[in-house]
Amino acid sequence: MDKQTVVVLFGGRSSEHSISSATAGGVLHAIDRDRYDVIPVGITRAGAFVLEEDRPEKFALDAAHLPEVVDNGTRVLWPEPGGDRTLRVTQTDGSVTGYGEIDVVLPILHGTHGEDGTIQGYFDTLEVPYVGGGVLDSALCMDKHFMKVVLQAAGIAVAPSVTLRERAWKQDAAALRSSIEELGLPLFVKPARAGSSVGVSKISDLSELDAALAVAFAEDEKVLVETGIVGREIEVAILDGVDGIRASLPGEIVLTERGFYDFEGKYLGGDGVDVVCPAELTPEQTKAIQEVGIQAFEAVDGRGLARVDMFLTSDGVLVINELNTMPGFTPISMFPKCWIASGLSYGDLITELVEAGLRR
């Protein structure tokens, strides 16, 4: 069988640049080289598309030195719609090299300009097949406010919250503060359009609100202040593959010392958090979690994959926290761990995602 060519696209302009790059290290290491030819393409923090080295170890997740895409002077020239799908690269000396026709792009990008529908729309315009969510589900799930609106419309429980715009907060903080006080404590303050817990704070006293908002507004001028839900933190992985939409065994984030599952706990090996998959649940709880995960995925018109994060309260209520349309694939990420626990290896998971992108 002839190999198909996969462009692994990573890096990007968001605050999650390094996490995307670390994810690329895992994918480049695990993708089936007998089945696919791979072209690594990085996006620098400034937004330049460059031809990267095909060396997984270059992008290993190292807490002391997070990986990144550095501008090496090359420039990727994407195929134009209606023509062949040859990927061309302008080299540092100005010459242009063809790298053959590409079959599909695997955009393992997190955050703005990658997980928000913009890159998806770009490839739709170029008529280049790609893996994962489309424009609509990516945009909806990137914006936590509108994600909640859609989930509530589908009858799915979400945490009560107040959405703030930075300009409105500066103009009339007193009125907005009153609405926030009605939410109760503790509260989570989150940028509306950021991931990996970047810019997120947990506050236990309203005196901490202004400082938490300053941190969140530094990431996004739109911020959610959300009621802290007391319950087990459960995550379930969703795949939209050859066998239709299906859910993995659920996993659980177990906090022992850390206040919440923050950036350090997720990616830098911080103490006080355990990522457990499968979670200790009854068969009935597992089924309910899988069902609500699929319902949430379908509510946002999900495509390809997602990780659905939720809380399981003591009285058995499932409250959706968020959906991630391009969850991390780092060695310690929940999404691959849940599928491995469900009987699908890391490499086979990547293959299934790529094949789904090729079929579309």
> Are 96 and 208 members of one domain?
no
Query: What is the rounded average pLDDT for all residues in the chain?
Result: 92
Rounded to whole angstroms, the Cα distance separating 158 from 150 reads: 10
> Are 234 and 223 members of one domain?
no
Residue 269 lies in a domain: yes
Residue 350 lies in a domain: yes
Number of domains in the chain: 3
> Are 152 and 284 members of one domain?
yes
The pLDDT tens digits of the residues spanning 203-249 come to 999 999 999 999 999 989 999 999 999 999 999 999 998 789 999 99
DSSP string, 156-193: --B--EEEEEHHHHHH-HHHHHHHHHTT-SSEEEEETT
CATH of the domain at 74: 3.40.50.20
> Are 354 and 276 members of one domain?
yes
Residue 124 lies in a domain: yes
- pLDDT-derived band at 333, boundaries 50, 70, 90: confident
Question: 238, 259, 240: which is closest to 249 by C-alpha?
Answer: 238
**pLDDT reading at 253 higher than 70:** yes
**pLDDT reading at 266 higher than 60:** no
Rounded to whole angstroms, the Cα distance separating 246 from 279 reads: 18
Residue 135 lies in a domain: no
Paired sense of beta strands 305-312 and 104-107, if any: unpaired
In three-state form (DSSP H/G/I as H, E/B as E, the rest C), the secondary structure along 303-348 is: CCEEEEEEEECCCCCEEEEEEECCCCCCCCCHHHHHHHHCCCCHHH
Residue 307 lies in a domain: yes
> Are 296 and 148 members of one domain?
yes
CATH of the domain at 169: 3.30.1490.20
Higher pLDDT, 159 or 268: 159
**pLDDT reading at 180 higher than 80:** yes
Residue 179 lies in a domain: yes
Rounded to whole angstroms, the Cα distance separating 346 from 31 reads: 8
Final residue before a domain boundary, out of 209, 227, 245: 227
The pLDDT tens digits of the residues spanning 84-98 come to 999 999 999 999 999
Q: Which pLDDT belongs to residue 262?
A: 47
Final residue before a domain boundary, out of 227, 258, 278: 227
Q: What is the mean pLDDT of the segment spanning 181-209? A: 90
Residue 272 lies in a domain: yes
> Are 56 and 151 members of one domain?
no
Rounded to whole angstroms, the Cα distance separating 10 from 119 reads: 11
Residue 178 lies in a domain: yes
Final residue before a domain boundary, out of 110, 130, 150: 130
**Structure tokens, 55:** 């060396």
> Are 122 and 17 members of one domain?
yes
- The answer to whether 338 and 237 are in contact (CB under 8 A) is yes
> Are 212 and 190 members of one domain?
yes
The pLDDT tens digits of the residues spanning 310-321 come to 999 999 999 999
**pLDDT reading at 265 higher than 60:** no
Q: Which pLDDT belongs to residue 196?
A: 60
> Are 59 and 101 members of one domain?
yes
> Are 64 and 201 members of one domain?
no
> Are 200 and 341 members of one domain?
no
> Are 125 and 103 members of one domain?
yes
CATH of the domain at 281: 3.30.470.20
Q: Which residue is associated with the tokens 């997720």? A: 266
**Which residues form the domain of 219?**
161-227
The pLDDT tens digits of the residues spanning 95-134 come to 999 999 999 999 999 988 999 999 999 999 999 999 999 9
3-state secondary structure of 120: helix
